[in-house]
Amino acid sequence: MLKKAVKNAVKAVKLERMLFFPDILITHHCTQRCLQCSIPLNASPTKPFMKFEHFKTIVDRLDDHGTQGFVISGGEPMLHPELPEFIHYAASKNFARVHLLSTLYGPDRLIERAVGAVIDAGISLSISFDGLGEVGDTVRGARDVAERVKKSIEYVESEMKRRGKRIHTGVGVVLSQLNIHQTKDLLEFLEQVGWLTEVDVYRWQSQSQIENDSMKFRDTKELREALGLVKK
């Protein structure tokens, strides 16, 4: 890892391109249909998953390039039938950090398989939590999202305790007009969970984001109040 840091410093001095923490999308398919996400719209019925050989090639090149780490994401990476193999191969390299970004929303067997691989490999894990009750279902485009994800969080905690091994865990929240009234409740719940929480606001500036009028903020005062709660 020190060699990689030195290599990146040299690249910076020479003004060469660097990849510090890129995403590797191993599938566009997902278990949810989030209002703001365009990724599942690009899912291919004929080539649904990245091949393991292609993943290895990418990881090896990132390793040689001096990249400090990367994110395994999708879509929903749990859907990939070879996810444990992907995770363990990535963890076998000398990266400072390998991270899995997941919804942890899906059948128990997929969640158990993914969580087991993550803890075994010692990589970090983060999820999204964008609303409670019907709000969460609307934003994430699925049914009983909040309750299912709460159950998944409990499972991660129980598995870390059972295995005697903790990993870095986090939660991402995207505030929008649809869930801003739940800001206080969301933050209180996530504080109880104890996972690192990152809060963002809805925007549509990347290729993976969709412009959705129902999510756009209409009241800047309400937004300022919500951000005030976040700062606390």
Residues β-bridged to residue 196: 170
Q: What is the CATH number of the domain that holds 86?
A: 3.20.20.70
Burial 122-161 (b: 16+ CB within 10 A, else e): ebbbbbbbbbbeebbbbbbbbeebbebbbebbeebeebbe
pLDDT band at 7 (very low <50, low <70, confident <90, very high): low
pLDDT confidence tier of residue 15, bands split at 50, 70 and 90: very low
If one counts the domains in the chain, the total is 1
Question: Which helix (H) or strand (E) is 126 found in, with range?
Answer: strand 124-128
pTM for the complete prediction? Answer: 0.91
Domain that holds residue 101: 2-231
Check if the beta carbon of residue 27 is closer than 8 Å to that of residue 76. yes
| pLDDT tens-digit readout, 129-167 | 999 999 999 999 999 999 999 999 999 999 999 999 999
